[in-house]
Structure 1
């Protein structure tokens, strides 16, 4: 038994040596060159008095109940998306009503929504249902064109005590929209070639609203640039329908 074990050990050693000689450097470790020295962040202007209030309003922390709109049984699928958008229009006359309202054409064209067959003049996009707030129930993600202009409104609604509550409101020149977990990711075109903006809104269970958690400008690779829809074709968001939460 001892002689057999020793023979096997010698055979394995010889095979390993032959394998190493035949393969050369394939699969071996190679030096990647000198590693740059890690440096800690340098704090600038330590005597500068910190600001106590934000310079711009990012529309964070604002939830709004849609007056007169309810979800029977707490199921937001039973709330009519057309009624939901009309409630927003009624609650914000400065945006939608009057000759000086920036989106007055949107309000006018809402009259074409909710009819069959679907009228192309309706600015409302397809509704999507998915649990974004993490309460086990579907929430509503809506989009509608802001007219005149080239912007798209993206909204998220949830239900509280059968009331429909808007927990996210964003207007932008949208080139794509995605849902990921508890987040809504909005792609927007940039003035710089081969770049785009990406805004991520994430549900905050303490504030009970969607907060703007990421704001990035990213470089697009050639493949991604060719496959990314232009701002002029943003009438259909890049979401897949969710039949169940």
Structure 2
């Protein structure tokens, strides 16, 4: 009699538990089960119910895409659909994104997917991408390539070493948190770019911009108008039930000083939206 192949769900679940640094007892308490049952699931001696897998996924804060992977590994149907932004039932989401991007003008804003590929952006974002060579814009611009590649924004930064360190640290944290192989591949690529030397010369910062501020590493970009200094915040959708929506993030840039704010207001109407 042919034996059944071992289930993949146990090893996957154990990998997520270890990534989140939970003991079996700690996770079982959060998921309202027993440590013994959890041990049996991880070793393949017990088949978890669909409800149990969803409870464990919630306790471990597993991304929706990977929750579907866990369910499929246990021979259950995925719990979360993955839709394009052009799907009819995503119309309210697309409208919300458009509203946020428009309202944020004249400051740059961009929507990215889980691998930091640009989905869309507002007009001021196009100003930051001015002069970026075509090979970094196709098939889709990627934020980490745009900023860290020697042919990209890196050559126009006044603090490229600081930005490189900040971006690589951010991406590596995301790799460890998600275990996403595509993010790991992106990290391996961009961390292999040659490390830039700190910029010398170029336009002097506007008066007052050297005063220490609340942002440790601002994005300092040299432009014909002078040095623009910005920081960013990230926004995501609360309680998403769609894989695509759960992986979208909106990065909103703000000026660090009055000079940058005035320059962005003056330039804001000169470019169309990105994407």
TM-score (norm 1): 0.23
Flag the structure with larger Rg: 1
Higher helix share: 2
Higher strand share: 1
TM-score (norm 2): 0.21
Higher relative contact order (CA 8 A, sep 6+): 2
